[in-house]
Chain A
Amino acid sequence: MLKLSRYVLHDILRSKVVIAYTLFLLAVAVTLFRMEDNTSKAVMSLTNIVLIVVPLVSMVFATIHYYNSYEFIELMLSQPVSRSRILMSEYFGTAFSMATAFLAGVGIPVLLFQPDAVGMALLLTGVLLTFIFTSLAFLASVLARDKARGIGIALMLWFYFALIYDGLVLSILFAFSDYPLESLTLALSSLNPVDLGRIFLMLKMDISALMGYTGATYKDFFGSSVGALYTIGIMVVWAIIPMLLAVRVFKKKDL
């Protein structure tokens, strides 16, 4: 596995996209920290950007990378290398380079300006989201036959998780607002890794008071160490399951 991942990494590092991504994150993070007097406000703004940008870039980059590596995959298929190994190497190569870019771009400023629990939680969430959305992108890529459709599916998934899902949850909450919904909202947030990440970070920032009674429920649950473990566990599951499905589809695919 490592042998193949090395070539994948080598290939990715050559394309300048990862470097551009790192520089972009670095610029945003440094600007925010320099602009705000209060670093926790800066982290708040940074969180919002990370929750939108990291999933989007991870997905689009992973999808494009998959299609660009088609020749490599084709070449490997005629060699004594199993299909799951090929795909997993591609996945880890892509996810590691994106995560490294994130850690360099956001991690360095965070360590400089805000090296506390909130900062660490932000870095952890970013890395987990990178792995999750790279995994979803691979699933989208193996399902679609051509690049345009693959990127289309990836973008749809991003829209869904970043925008549409929240709308759906809100309308459910609104429609059933006469009932106690605290545990339902808890369950619903587990169905969207972006939401899960957002709640996890918000509660670390002690602004849950702004979220009313639901916020208190969240605080009770996510604020505890069990809650933190639960969040991380669910996010890891979110990374593993799409990739397992992707490997299953990939094994049966004609190339």
Chain B
Amino acid sequence: MITIEHITKKFKKLHALDDVSAAFRKGQVVSLVGPNGSGKTTLIKSILGIVQPDAGQIYFNSKPIQSEVAYRDKIGYMPQIGRYPDNMTIGQVISMIKNIRNHGTRKLDEELIEQYGMHALMEKNMRSLSGGTRQKVSAVLAFLFDPEVLILDEPTAGLDPLASEILKEKIMREKEKGKLILITSHILADLDELTTDVMYLQDGKLRLYQSIGKLKELTGEERLGRAIASVMKSGYVQPTEQSGAIVKSMEVRYA
């Protein structure tokens, strides 16, 4: 569904992404993990066209994303820090996005609005919102149009346990519908139940892209956190020519 080919992005001297290639299919829940500043958000923003890569090409349904903006209609994006026009209310922001995206009578998914009790907050000004409420608005907007692809950048950061649980359940239900979901998170326990594939980035390089079963089998660890930790320690590098494929023998050298 989304194919990334040799994406490179430099910010001044920093190599935010260094020749990253990968393919994402329908039904996958890909966890993007890696240390701070490893290029996760840059990768996501490149897919959305917010950041323009220096080199490489990104395809959405085998069409290059620069050719038209319509592909973004199929994506729901939840940014890491949702920033909204200060002097609009929640209701205005939601109706504005609806107005811009909703062509005719597409069915809207207002489940999260209900579950977060957002109807009571519609009159609130964006300026006065707490970080968590802002995050809820971002979540509502990402799921509202029932998109085929969900891109969630640190979705649970700043949410209270209850809201975070609601969101996770929502992601689960979307996963069951066979959507492609890309998630970044530092809370690996959150990802453990959701994820089907793990993509590990470090210093802008793709270090590993494996299905979770394979990863656990190869590292001999049951928990995602442990499995990733052992990959980090091993210094494993994904063979570039078969990114996304199953690696038969992985020599894990423990430090």
Contact = CB atoms under 8 A, between A and B. Distances in A.
B75 to A, nearest CB: 8
22 contacts: A3-B100, A11-B85, A11-B87, A14-B87, A70-B83, A71-B83, A71-B85, A74-B83, A75-B85, A75-B97, A77-B48, A78-B48, A78-B75, A78-B77, A78-B79, A79-B97, A80-B101, A81-B72, A254-B11, A254-B50, A254-B52, A255-B50
Contacts of A82: 69
A37 B71 CA distance: 64
Interface of B: 11, 45, 48-52, 69-73, 75, 77, 79, 83-88, 93, 96-97, 99-101
Contacts of B49: 77
A94 B52 CA distance: 27
Given A71-B83, A75-B83, A80 B52 contact: no
B52 A253 contact: yes
B69 A80 contact: yes
Nearest to A254: B51
A252 B93 CA distance: 26
Contacts of A255: 50-51
A14, A78, A255 — which one has the most chain B CB atoms within 10 A of its CB? Answer: A78
Contacts of B70: 80
A226 to B, nearest CB: 43
A80 B73 contact: yes
B102 to A, nearest CB: 11
B86 A71 contact: yes
A156 B86 CA distance: 29
A254 B14 CA distance: 15
A83 to B, nearest CB: 8
A4 interface: yes
Given A4-B100, A252-B52, A255-B50, A81 B83 contact: no
A7 interface: yes
Contacts of A224: none
B34 to A, nearest CB: 20
Interface in A233-255: 252-255
Given A11-B87, A71-B84, A254-B52, A79 B72 contact: yes
Nearest to A251: B52
A72 interface: yes
By secondary structure, the B interface counts as mixed
A69 interface: yes
Interface string A71-105: 11011111111100000000000000000000000
Contacts of B45: 254
A82 B73 CA distance: 11
Interface in A37-76: 69-72, 74-76
B69 A3 contact: no
A7 B130 CA distance: 24
B87 A81 contact: no
A77 B85 contact: no
A14 B51 CA distance: 31
Contacts of B101: 79-80
B141 to A, nearest CB: 9
Nearest to A71: B83
Interface string A1-43: 0011001000100100000000000000000000000000000
A80 B77 CA distance: 11
A75 to B, nearest CB: 6
A80 B87 contact: no
A251 B97 CA distance: 21
A76 B72 CA distance: 11
B50 to A, nearest CB: 5
B85 A69 contact: yes
A174 to B, nearest CB: 46
Contact of B69 (A81, A252, A254): A81
A243 to B, nearest CB: 20
B48 A7 contact: no
Nearest to B84: A71
A126 B51 CA distance: 38
A4 B51 CA distance: 22
A11 B97 CA distance: 15
A14 B77 CA distance: 29
Nearest to B78: A78
Given A11-B87, A71-B86, A75-B84, A81 B100 contact: yes
B23 to A, nearest CB: 22
A8 to B, nearest CB: 10
Given A77-B50, A254-B52, A7 B77 contact: no
Contact of A79 (B51, B83, B85, B100): B100
